[in-house]
Amino acid sequence: MIAPVPDEPAHLVRLYRPEWCIVYTASSTSGGYGPAELKGVCEEHYRTRYEGRVRPEDAKIMRDGPVVRLLLLLPTLKGEFKYETLAKEWAEEQGWDTYDIVGKESPEDHELRSYSVKMLPA
């Protein structure tokens, strides 16, 4: 095993930023459904796959022309850095006011990566 270089961090940090991600799209091409029915299809998809796994305020349904989309606000990995200060500088340069910096493979990192996958605490 190679020893770390002095003044080099032993572990990297990860920068996450919440972003709206499309996780499901319903379109009328498969059944001639109108907007109300398509919204219902997206609501059912949310109930069966994500209810209890994401906070209600982190889910939204939007009409986009002939389709209706289910979006979730998910933590998105934006980069890995050697130092927390570099991650913070990068986030601020991008103009982000909301972000998380956590140690790579830390419990906080696992928690962010598991959001929408495992059930939320009751």
> Residue 65: its pLDDT value, please?
85
Residue 108 lies in a domain: yes
Within a domain: residue 54? Answer: yes
Q: Is residue 51 part of a domain?
A: yes
Per-residue pLDDT of the chain (122 residues; tens, 9 = 90+): 555 555 555 689 999 999 999 999 998 876 678 888 999 999 999 999 999 999 999 999 999 888 999 999 999 999 999 999 999 999 999 999 999 999 999 999 999 999 999 998 87
4 inside domain: no
Check: CB of residue 59 under 8 Å from CB of residue 50. yes
Query: Using CA atoms, how far apart are residues 21 and 77, in angstroms rounded to an integer?
Result: 13
Q: How many domains does the chain have?
A: 1
- For residue 121, being part of any structural domain is answered with no
Question: Considering the domain boundaries, does residue 23 fall inside one?
Answer: yes
Domain housing 93: 13-114
Residue listed under structure tokens 């990566």: 113
Residue 84's pLDDT is 95
pLDDT of residue 33: 80
CA 52 → CA 37, 59, 81, distances in Å? Answer: 23, 11, 32
